[in-house]
Copies of this chain bind each other. A is one copy, B any other.
Amino acid sequence: MYRRRVEFADTDTANLIHFTALMRFMEEAEHAFYRSLDFHGYRWSEASVFGMPRVSVSCDYLGAVRYGDVVEVRLQVREVRTKAIRYAAEFTIDGSEGREIVARSDWTVVCARRDHGSRDWRGVEIPARLRRQLEVASRATRWRGLRRRERSRRGGRGRR
């Protein structure tokens, strides 16, 4: 679980977190997950740069998040493809009553490389060790609850 306090610069004049700030927390949680695997979601070398850009992002905002709140991000590996990984996350506020879910997010990243002499990123396969770690994380039982909730959401009212 990744924890991140809502700082002053993350808020807006509606007295709430700006919707893009929560998406930054989402990316931070993903990069923290890579660090926990001793992997780097972005890596510069003398020949090239490795990165994991987002190709698709969606987020539902379900409850108010304000300055000073400590947001908890629970990340789930949803799918491991050849070059892409799909994640989901649930966001709650530390200490809130009933740990109400204030946001739900779903996104896909691709592994990519850019040689220094080129401006273009090209997709590459997920490195083998990371793939194995992702598959372990994806099977971890702690996510069962989330999967079940999602099935019922899908059943109940379609994708969204």
Contacts and interface: CB of A to CB of B under 8 A. Distances in A.
Contact-residue bracket for chain A: 35 or more
Given A61-B53, A114-B15, A7 B23 contact: no
Chain B CB within 10 Å, residue with most, of A8, A18, A41, A49: A8
Given A53-B61, A58-B58, A61-B54, A20 B12 contact: no
A136 interface: no
Copies assembled = 4
15 contacts: A8-B12, A8-B27, A8-B31, A8-B41, A9-B12, A12-B13, A13-B15, A14-B42, A14-B53, A14-B114, A19-B57, A46-B118, A47-B117, A54-B61, A56-B60
Nearest to A62: B55
A94 interface: no
Nearest to A12: B11
